[in-house]
Structure 1
């Protein structure tokens, strides 16, 4: 019997004139945790769809347990124990946990009616196998992201999975939830189930994986035991470049007046007594567990919450923004964490997404000044280093990093003096992440933009902020700057809050 659960030999796949995979070979062994890494467009999603039978390659061979498989399709892949957990989890939100878990089994058995007692028994048993507790009667749509992920993993186990492919599984998870997920992944490994872990996050790759395969531009460029790699080596393989970020230094004199002064900011029941001061050129970080109040704080600063404060001073003026329009008028901009559902119009062009925040300024009588629209968009297109054929490209066709740069460009067009970033590089590959960081740092250092950066990614905060606050229970409970602003100290502070 082959030592490989699945083996791909010289796989090639084209889309029109684009070669998405170029003679790629890789294998996954039973019970191993294998990481697949690469930037957006490297071919990761394509190879996943080849493994799961969604795409048929033009060239190459697929072997499962050493046996060649011709015309692998999704049904045949599932029958061979290959399960994919996509980023959207593909669950039924209006059904309970038990119903979601039992549904596939009942369909395969051809049953027309649900046996509720059996469904609940199946759910309890599979969750016990994962050593997790979950309300099996709760509708899946009410669960947090981590809960939905557990349901998706449990469903795969019920389908007798031998290989579970996890596509960017930690994108929307806190560090605490990541630790819980990794415990489940290691438990799956102990049960002999292989896991293909697809991620942009290098520290997580190093922590969880036995082996690593790296793609770049549709080719395999590196492969080996994870012990053979470190962060710089993975970065070089993914990008072909040396990417080194030095800690950000804000050159601010002691007498520089704050652009934002907030004292005793409250959002009833969520944020209590927050004091925040921000000077031009500063990048101030905020971290904290889910539910700490950090997003509500950001929304309050942008006029989106029913908030109050003893002091709310912008540029020396005592004024509290009570709406988004007022906040924009005061020079505040906010980039939300979920850019797809909260920030961007995916079917519209880059140009329309960018100028939507300044439409009133572009009016020429009853019409929009098309020439001014294009001029401002093209200037920001270049500043944000957006990789796209033109400003007419639909935002939905962009990578995560380029879409995020469109969001940044939109708000910078307003002439903002204060930029609030909530999860600025969530779901962004390492190369785009470095570019976004450089843009933010340059805007702060050269243009005097004041930035609030909210993130779960502690290295992102320590590498780009001159001060960091840790939030818990709606308050700032720890503060770090200078030599004290180390990853270990901040992580220790966060762990103490669990």
Structure 2
């Protein structure tokens, strides 16, 4: 009997002239928590699809329990115990928890009618196995991301999963929810279920995983016990570069006129009297639990929420943006957390996505000045270091980091002096994350851009901000700066709010 649940040996996969996987091997033991790391485009998604039968490799061998399986298709993979939980969870939002959990079983059995008592019994039993409580009659669309994650895991268990592949499972979770997920993962390990944990977040890799495999450019470049790695070593393996970043600490003149002054800002029922100052060249962070009012505050500053304030000054002028158009005219820009649904036109080109906020400025009579449009986009394309063949590339074809840089470029073209970033590097790999941080720092330090950075990633805030506010129930409840601005202090503050 093989010691491995699944082995992929010398796998190669091509798409046209591109070699997505080049002679890679990976093996996972029963009951093992194994992390797969790599930047976007490294081959992680391709190997997952080979493992789950979606792609057939041109070369190599797949073994399950030591036996070669030949050609593997998705149905065979499921029958052999391989389950993938993708970032969107692939659940039916308009069905209840019980219905989502029972559906696959009933389909495999060829049932044409729902056996409600059995469905509810199945749901209760599998959730008890996970030691979690969820309303089995609630529609899945009403659940938070952590609840949907649990339903997806429970569904995999009902399908008798032996290997659960989790693709970026913590992207939309708070730290508290991550802790709860990790408790479930450890319980699954104790039951003999293997977990392949795919993530960009190195601290989470180090915390949860026993073994690590790193891909870069379609090749396996590192593998071993997690105890043999630290963050710098993982970064070097993923990128081939040293990306150590010194904390952002430029001298900010406290006497300088603020770029933005807000006093006693309120959004009915959500934000309760927030006061904030941003100076040119300053990066101010906001952390807080989900529901703290952070996003509503950002949207209010950008004219997207109905709000009132005792004071609202931009560059010393008493103003108040009542719409997005007014905020843009005042030099305020906002990059939302969900860039895919709120920020970008995925089927349109980089160029069109960048100039959409300055179309009026590019108008020449009845037509757009195509040369000016191309010149402005080309310069920003280079400044933002976007990895794409040209500005004509569709944004939907870009990695998360490049898509985020398109968003930054769009707002910088407006001449913004105040930049609000909500989750600036969510879903972005470590190399792109470092580039985005460098761009933001340079814009602040060299061009005097005032930045408000909202993030769940505490190291991101402590490494890039001059000071950090903690927000809870619509109010700022703590502020950290200087020597007090440490990860431990901020995490302790957040834990006290739960």
TM-score normalised according to structure 2 size: 1.00
Query: Partner of 1:398 in structure 2?
Result: 398
Cα deviation, residue 222, structure 1: 0.2
Query: Partner of 2:445 in structure 1?
Result: 445
Cα deviation, residue 255, structure 1: 1.4
Query: Partner of 2:427 in structure 1?
Result: 427
Distance in 2 (CA, whole Å) between partners of 1:423 and 1:303 is 19
Query: Partner of 2:84 in structure 1?
Result: 84
Distance in 2 (CA, whole Å) between partners of 1:402 and 1:415 is 21
Query: Partner of 1:271 in structure 2?
Result: 271
Distance in 2 (CA, whole Å) between partners of 1:490 and 1:246 is 19
Query: Partner of 2:219 in structure 1?
Result: 219
Query: Partner of 1:247 in structure 2?
Result: 247
Query: Partner of 1:202 in structure 2?
Result: 202
Query: Partner of 1:367 in structure 2?
Result: 367
Distance in 1 (CA, whole Å) between partners of 2:406 and 2:53 is 34
Superposition map of 1:10-49 within 5 A: 10-49=10-49
Superposition map of 1:52-451 within 5 A: 52-451=52-451
Distance in 1 (CA, whole Å) between partners of 2:147 and 2:496 is 23
Distance in 2 (CA, whole Å) between partners of 1:244 and 1:489 is 22
Cα deviation, residue 94, structure 1: 0.7
- Flag as ranges the 4+ runs of structure 1 deviating above 3 A: none
Q: Any gaps of 5 or more consecutive residues in structure 1?
A: none
Residues 445-478 of structure 1: CA deviation (Å, up to 9, x unaligned): 0000000000000000000000000000000011
Distance in 1 (CA, whole Å) between partners of 2:316 and 2:9 is 65
Residues 313-367 of structure 1: CA deviation (Å, up to 9, x unaligned): 1111111100000000000000000000000000000000000000000000000
Cα deviation, residue 254, structure 1: 2.4
Distance in 2 (CA, whole Å) between partners of 1:16 and 1:338 is 32
Distance in 2 (CA, whole Å) between partners of 1:265 and 1:176 is 28
Distance in 2 (CA, whole Å) between partners of 1:343 and 1:109 is 43
Aligned to 1:222, what secondary structure does the other structure show? strand
Distance in 2 (CA, whole Å) between partners of 1:44 and 1:259 is 43
Distance in 2 (CA, whole Å) between partners of 1:38 and 1:252 is 37
Cα deviation, residue 138, structure 1: 0.8
Distance in 1 (CA, whole Å) between partners of 2:103 and 2:478 is 46
Would you say how many aligned residue pairs link Structure 1 and Structure 2?
498
Cα deviation, residue 410, structure 1: 0.1
Cα deviation, residue 250, structure 1: 2.9
Distance in 2 (CA, whole Å) between partners of 1:120 and 1:332 is 51
Aligned to 2:11, what secondary structure does the other structure show? strand
Residues 81-124 of structure 1: CA deviation (Å, up to 9, x unaligned): 00000111111111000000000011111111001111011101
Query: Partner of 1:493 in structure 2?
Result: 493
Distance in 2 (CA, whole Å) between partners of 1:312 and 1:250 is 26
Distance in 2 (CA, whole Å) between partners of 1:408 and 1:401 is 11
Residues 183-241 of structure 1: CA deviation (Å, up to 9, x unaligned): 11111111110000000000000000000000000000000000000000000000000
Distance in 2 (CA, whole Å) between partners of 1:51 and 1:365 is 57
Residues 401-433 of structure 1: CA deviation (Å, up to 9, x unaligned): 000000000000000000000000000000000
Distance in 2 (CA, whole Å) between partners of 1:183 and 1:475 is 31
Query: Partner of 1:455 in structure 2?
Result: 455
Q: Any gaps of 5 or more consecutive residues in structure 2?
A: none
Distance in 1 (CA, whole Å) between partners of 2:227 and 2:212 is 9
Aligned to 1:49, what secondary structure does the other structure show? helix
Query: Partner of 2:5 in structure 1?
Result: 5
Aligned to 1:373, what secondary structure does the other structure show? helix
Residues 249-280 of structure 1: CA deviation (Å, up to 9, x unaligned): 13222210101111111101000010100000
